[in-house]
Amino acid sequence: MKQRLALALSLISEPELLILDEPFVGLDPIGTQEVKELLRKLCTTQQTAILFSSHQMEDVCDLVDHILVLNQGLIVYSEKNTHLANQQAQLIELIK
């Protein structure tokens, strides 16, 4: 509930840019789907840009247009998301 409340509070002002840190942590599968749908809707209907960090590769690859991976403060990967299964494996290898 804390995750949902924090997200709701951040949306009150209808921001042009929304920065989220691990937005799916602590959510059950239904909550995760609801948050994903909300984020998609924000992008399409309100033109909100969303920047988020996550260690959950499936959620990242499911949502984003562009993927950026940082390792020790350096950009080690920056590509348009192709939504391919092997892209997740490639990202995991980069993080190791």
Q: Is 23 helix (H, G, I), strand (E, B) or coil?
A: coil
Per-residue confidence band for 84, with pLDDT thresholds at 50, 70 and 90:
low
Percent of the chain past pLDDT 70, that is, above it, reads 85
Q: What gap in Å lies between CA 73 and CA 9, rounded to an integer?
A: 29
Domains of the chain and CATH, by start: 2-95 (3.40.50.300)
User: Which residues partner with 74 through β-bridges?
Assistant: 71
Q: Are 56 and 29 in contact (CB under 8 A)?
A: no
Q: Is 48 helix (H, G, I), strand (E, B) or coil?
A: coil
Q: Name the DSSP letter for residue 16.
A: S
Average pLDDT, the chain: 82
pLDDT in tens, 16-29: 998 888 888 888 88
